[in-house]
Amino acid sequence: MDKNITKPVGALKGADNNYHFTLWSPHADNVQVIIKGEEAARTMERDAYGYWHSNDGNGVTAGSKYKFLLNGEHKLPDPASMSQPDGVHEWSEVVDHDFDWTDENWQPAPLSDLIIYELHVGTFTEKGTFEAIIDRIDHLQALGINAIEIMPIAQFPGSRNWGYDGVYPFAAQNSYGGVSKLKMLVDKFHQAGIAVILDVVYNHMGPEGNYLSLFGPYFTEKYNTPWGAALNFDDSYSDHIRNFFLQNALMWLKEFHIDGLRLDAVHAIMDNGPVHLLKELSLKVDGLEKETGKPYILIAESDMNDVKVISDYSKGGYGLEAQWTDDFHHAVHTLITGELDGYYSDYGQIAHLAKSFKQGFIYDGIYSNFRNKLVGTDPSNNASHQFVVCIQNHDQVGNRMTGDRLPSIVSYEKLKLAAGTMLISPFVPMLFMGEEYGEDQPFQYFVHHGDPALVKAVQEGRSKEFDSFKWQGEVPDPQSENTFRNSKLNWDFKSQQEKDTLFKFYKYLIHLRKEGAFDLFKSQEIITEVMEDKKLLKIAATDSSRHILVLLNFSDSIQNVTISGEHRVWHKLFASSDQQWQGPAELPESVTSGNKLPLSPNSISVYY
């Protein structure tokens, strides 16, 4: 029995340097490829598994535009198009992946040492392009970032989208600069010592320009998702849909030299087959590592709190390197904002943060009142670098009704407290663009659809989305260009003292982290002391020669805290309340066990 039933898809250059077209469309009776400018369509031949091939590459070069003609009726772009220069409804473009790379000896920092910076191409700079991001390398290097995570760039309708309406997963968005500019970005960042992680979406496709159903059974009605019918990863013909997305993942890593993938909402990837898509992807990436000699990172976003996603194959896991840990964000967010509606109702206690600081998950098999069920599995046997934590990200900001960031919600002292809590943690920290200087421009949900009926549906749906929250205000119009423009970063932060100081605070803590100042939390038992009534948390760790003590005051009052433990002198590493950081009060440089420290409201202090 032939197991090799899948084929590479798209317009690919063969060993003969000619371009070969391959399309999977198992129910089509006839398929032709049309080259723009040619009068006659070229014939394609079908194999036993529904792949249509055309080896006639005569006259086809990089830049040639083409469409497929199905049954003489539907003239459509290529689902595996690598370039859509004129948008989602127009001609696909043949791409030559040749590029003068300069990163042959590049190796990213180990996952445990990464400081990740999430950014959106369209709003990170005024120009909103891949090339414009390169101009901000100096800023990221000065901050101490060694990995960026780019929100999805798969071709979407129009010229602006927050990223999750892509319909051509192989095509880098044309308005961002397309294939060549993305490769230039990756090469330049590698020269600067910064890894590049790409956010990809394998749980749904956007609504406009999504022609997949005309080609074959890409979707299944077996499962319901927030976006309608699920992608078909385990039903009839699913081998070929899996093949489509697995090829896509490998293309980014191999052809674009991307260092890792962030996999959007993997809990919505419906797959009850014998080998879950995530595990198959992980196995494929293992094979690519052997081929290239380079490590790659797969990071999942999951709301299941299930260590199966990141556990070894030998333990029944999928073998991904890390996953986002929302519990940490929610624990910090509720403590500094007091917001307890919606899913935040499951959080809000100092004990929640203490638990998350020690093991990532709070919900590790315990009951969730919000979900009305037991949630999660025990993460205590997983390494801390398998969990990525944040205090802001595109979801937790962009999915707020008005897209308001923390500086619009909480005080300056609370910003430093939240930042310090994240950056001293044993987990991999991720910053959201602009967070490092207290960006107060919102990051709102925006689209640029061309179908008026779809635009209306999106506008109405967005308005109904926040019923379980008590947020005030009006929902910004997702289709308005102003909503997009309002979401762009304001880079004039150095002229504002508080913002410039916050940047220096982030920079200093990242430097301390890279120097190993907080490594005891990764290697030793973490000891916590919860004082719920005072909204205080002590965190400590020690080995034979080193000690670290963290004091977190989430209250709005000065708290006099006794320094307990063996009799010794503790030295200040940093305190967010110090005047150096525009704080209200200076803490002493040293303190002896048994004495008290007056902790300023909403502050973090670290002694060693």
Strand, helix or coil for residue 522: helix
The dihedral region occupied by 518, where left means phi > 0, alpha psi between -120 and 50, and beta the remainder, is: alpha
Residue 368, beta-bridge partner list: 373
Is there a contact between 485 and 442 (Cβ–Cβ < 8 Å)? no
CB environment 371-407: b (16+ within 10 A), e (fewer) = eeeebbbebeebebbbbbbbbbbbbbbbebbbbbbbb
Q: Which helix (H) or strand (E) holds 538?
A: strand 536-542
Q: How many Å apart are CA 22 and CA 349, to the nearest integer? A: 56
Q: How many CB atoms lie within 10 A of CB 45?
A: 10
Q: How many residues belong to the chain?
A: 608
Q: Which helix (H) or strand (E) holds 605?
A: strand 603-607
* CA-closest candidate to residue 529, choices 561, 568, 493, 570: 561
* CA-closest candidate to residue 81, choices 132, 19, 38: 19
Q: List phi, psi (to 5°) of 126.
A: -65, -40
- The single residue listed with the structure tokens 């896509």 is 248
Strand, helix or coil for residue 541: strand
Active site residue 301: yes
17: Cβ contacts below 8 Å, ≥ 6 apart: none
Q: Which helix (H) or strand (E) holds 540?
A: strand 536-542
Active site residue 339: no
DSSP per position, 211-270: -HHHHS--EEEEEEETTEEEE-SSSTTHHHHHHHHHHHHHHHHHHS---EEEETTGGG--
Q: Which of 199, 301, 326, 346 is catalytic?
A: 301
Strand segments (E) across 71-225: 74-76, 92-93, 116-119, 147-150, 154-155, 168-172, 195-200, 219-225
Q: How many Å apart are CA 141 and CA 262, to the nearest integer? A: 22
Q: How many Å apart are CA 540 and CA 524, to the nearest integer? A: 10
515: Cβ contacts below 8 Å, ≥ 6 apart: none
Sign of the alpha-carbon torsion through 54, 57, 63, 67: negative
Q: How many CB atoms lie within 10 A of CB 560?
A: 9
Sign of the alpha-carbon torsion through 250, 254, 255, 259: positive
Q: Which of 234, 235, 264, 327 is catalytic?
A: 264
* CA-closest candidate to residue 555, choices 413, 419, 347, 424: 413
Is there a contact between 295 and 313 (Cβ–Cβ < 8 Å)? no
Catalytic residue ranges: 264, 301
